[in-house]
Amino acid sequence: MLMTGKEYIESLRKLNTRVYMFGEKIDNWVDHPMIRPSINCLAVTYDLALDPQYTDLMTAKSNLTGETVNRFSHLHQSTEDLKKKVKMQRLCGQKTASCFQRCVGMDAFNAVYSTTYEIDEKYGTNYHKNFVEYLKYVQENDLVVDGAMTDPKGDRSLAPHAQPDPDLFLRIKEIREDGIVVRGAKCHQTGSINSHEHLIMPTMAMKEEDKMYAVSFAIQSDADGVFMIYGRQSCDTRKLEEGADVDLGNKQFGGQEALVVFDDVFIPNDRIFLCGETEFAGMMVERFAGYHRQSYGGCKVGVGDVIIGAAALAADYNGANKASHVKDKLIEMTHLNETLYCCGIACSTEGYPTKAGNYQIDLLLANVCKQNVTRFPYEIVRLAEDIAGGLMVTMPSEKDFKSDLVVGKNNETIGDICNKYFAASPSCTTEERMRILRFLENICLGSSAVGYRTESMHGAGSPQAQRIMISRQGNIEAKKELAKAIAGIK
């Protein structure tokens, strides 16, 4: 049954999730001003699914139950599903101008579903059956699940088993008859605090010596031994300022990351999807990474649409909208943004069925998509900052614009002076101009940058990770043969 955004928020209140921030435990994290904007983002994904205008994009018919489910918990059944996923992500980005945090779970579902099928095929295990029953539970209850892959990793030159501290990669500490006990952490976890459940995957391909680190499972966010430490963002404490509004930029929505710690957590057998089968760790990682790199051709494009609109508004408000160089910059921003979208649609269109039956994207094109995302958003932001002007980062505070403190020889208030000297085009008020500049500051440099600029670089793997996959998938040897055939080389 599909929940409303309000019902989703209320469902979080029923959880006993342990959250820490600034060295203190946060009891009412649902209403905390620094966390709530990220919860509002997720609520949008629920409300859009119930909006008749977006039903086709936001929902799908489950191949497991036959019921209508939110597309964020759907297993892709065709290339059309893969394309709708990207279009849905663009829509959500347009509506929030931030990270809406459900993509990692959706991408994890599809990677774990197909991988467990092939593990069972080889070893006769019950992982696939376990996962199917788990996903039915998720779909029937319309839950948010955090797909958790990234380990702290410690010394990058050492394998998991060779780390001085064995907990720097999440590991199986104990194997029991009824399940396993795990210890370690997952870091940079998007939407972890706002999720009902966590779906854990290994972080890299592994060898036999790393057997105890090859693990995948599901766990409730408030399970015994699980706790989270909130990751702060630039300008985040502005949300704690009394009466803050204009200075927040994007007041309603925001992203969220956290360190998720597993302090000797018990996982029952029916929630285990990988347990020591090291040769399948790489498959799970590669498939998840492919899906998640496809995702960036949707979500970042939606946010990019809003940035382009904000930059165009800034040009209007500055009185520079008719300048040819400004028009050209907006064209370039649009060109870059639509190129990202092309990549997301292309890798979806070239998708193919896995042995399990769900559809996988074209891995080469998905990695090309994400490689472009590590570059183009930076240029889009640079151009937006160019159009906005330096006032974006030098203007006085919102309190100054509202101050009634009298200064100067003409009995003017600080507010009067600020509103006078920062006025521009008659098409807008000074406050409207300040709002759009603060919005651009927030999305280009502040807390929303986590969901756009910086996250475009490191989300779904670093740029080098995509280049490695492009090298593997590029098939240089076949290209050599093409050249040899035309050049007459036998």
Which residues are part of the catalytic machinery?
99, 103, 190, 257, 292, 296, 299, 455
Q: What are phi and psi of 382, to 5 degrees?
A: -60, -45
Residue 407's CB: how many other CB atoms inside 10 A?
A: 12
Angle between helices 376-388 and 281-318 (to 10 degrees): 20
Query: What burial class does residue 247 get, using C-beta atoms within 10 Å of its C-beta: 0-12 exposed, 13-18 middle, 19+ buried?
Result: buried
DSSP 61-75: E-TTTSSEEEGGGPP
Contact 370, 361 (CB under 8 A): no
CA atoms of 107 and 294, how far apart (whole Å): 9
For 11, 166, 208, 212, 276, the CA distances from 172, given in Å and listed in that order, are 30, 10, 14, 5, 9
Beta bridge partner(s), residue 180: 175, 267
Q: Is 184 helix (H, G, I), strand (E, B) or coil?
A: strand
94 Cβ partners below 8 Å, 6+ apart? 302, 303, 305, 306
Residues comprising the chain, all counted? 490
For 35, 113, 120, 358, 472, the CA distances from 355, given in Å and listed in that order, are: 40, 10, 12, 8, 21
| Three-class SS state of 474 | coil
- In this structure, how many other beta carbons lie within 10 angstroms of the beta carbon of residue 163? 18
Q: Are strands 59-61 and 68-70 parallel, antiparallel or unpaired?
A: antiparallel
